[in-house]
Amino acid sequence: MMETAALSPGCGVEVKGVSLAEAQGERLDAIRDLIYRHGVAVFRDQSVSPEEHIAFANRWGGIDINNYFPLTDEHPEIAVVRKTEDQTTNIGGGWHTDHSYDQVPAMGSILVARTLPPAGGDTLWAHMGAAYESLPDEMKTKLEGLEAFHTADHIYAPDGLYAQTDQGTALRGQELKTGATHPVVIRHPQTGQKLLYVNPGFTMHFTGMTREESLPLLQELFAHAMKPQHQCRVEWKPGTVAIWDNRTTWHYAMNDYQGHAREMHRITLSGEALAA
């Protein structure tokens, strides 16, 4: 019997009574719907082998191979999100949504905890449907018809942010060039919910405006979206799996466990083109 409990009033759901290794058919459809609506779903006490991780993702739909993270030797479908005990920089340590820099962004990810620190390393999510709905009407009107340009080049390029940290040598894809333009407000492809689709990690400027001209409005939207009432926080434990929707949420990986290793295995789920 599948049971659900909200992680917070504005974002996220914890799901009990489900074995992801066996979920398919109507049970998988119900899980999909929860994630589309709540943004992220957390499953505890799961026993998911790499092969079961891949099989579940294939039952969901297509898998996107990650261009930047190291891949497991046996299973290139699985990207490794790793921080070693002697590294000080983590992956994803700032608000962002994955793959907004792709013209067809990935739908989301399935993240399996493999090695955890004794404490810390939580992940925060923020719900962009809740963020949009709580905007003033005049701001909603202002955003109608606006589009924005997204890229990851300033993060992953040879002279990008990660190259200047102790994560630089572990990452791949520094030669890639990215760039995509999306509506600032999109409709979720499955639920139809209106979502704010800009993020601090990858959104550079509005179409027809410079970065400098765009920043005041971008920063206003970012500050609004990351208000606590739009967020939930997930504490990782052995056997925890999180599945989230990139269209519906941002996320932020806390970097508060210096001196300890943390390793997560991630499979990215294919998405579809976005529309206003």
Active-site hit among 182, 251, 262, 265? 251
Per-residue model confidence as pLDDT tens for the chain (276 residues): 899 999 999 999 999 999 999 999 999 999 999 999 999 999 999 999 999 999 999 999 999 998 877 788 899 999 999 999 999 989 889 999 999 999 999 999 999 999 999 999 999 999 999 999 999 999 999 999 999 999 988 776 677 666 666 676 767 667 778 899 999 999 999 999 999 999 999 999 999 999 999 999 999 999 999 999 999 999 999 999 999 999 999 999 999 999 999 999 999 999 999 999
Q: Does residue 274 form part of some domain?
A: no
Q: Does residue 41 form part of some domain?
A: yes
Compute the distance between CA of residue 208 and CA of residue 222 in angstroms, rounded to an integer: 20
The count of structural domains within the chain is 1
- Strand 63-64 relative to strand 262-269: parallel, antiparallel, unpaired? antiparallel
Burial class (CB in 10 A: 0-12, 13-18, 19+), 245: buried
Q: Does residue 276 form part of some domain?
A: no
Q: Is 44 a catalytic residue?
A: no
Q: Does residue 96 form part of some domain?
A: yes
CB-CB contact of 4 with 14 (8 Å): yes
Q: Is 32 a catalytic residue?
A: no
Active-site hit among 98, 102, 230, 262? 98
Compute the distance between CA of residue 271 and CA of residue 248 in angstroms, rounded to an integer: 12
Pure H helices in 137-194: 137-143, 153-156
The three-state secondary structure class of 29 is helix
Query: Kind and range of the H or E element at 133?
Result: helix 128-133
CB-CB contact of 38 with 231 (8 Å): no
Give residue 160's pLDDT. Answer: 63
Compute the distance between CA of residue 271 and CA of residue 9 in angstroms, rounded to an integer: 27
Active-site hit among 99, 127, 262, 266? 266
Q: Does residue 204 form part of some domain?
A: yes
Q: Is 188 a catalytic residue?
A: no
Active-site hit among 96, 114, 150, 265? 96
Q: Does residue 229 form part of some domain?
A: yes
Domain that holds residue 32: 3-269
Q: Is 251 a catalytic residue?
A: yes
Q: Does residue 275 form part of some domain?
A: no
Residue 185 belongs to domain with CATH number? 3.60.130.10
End-to-end CA distance of the chain: 37
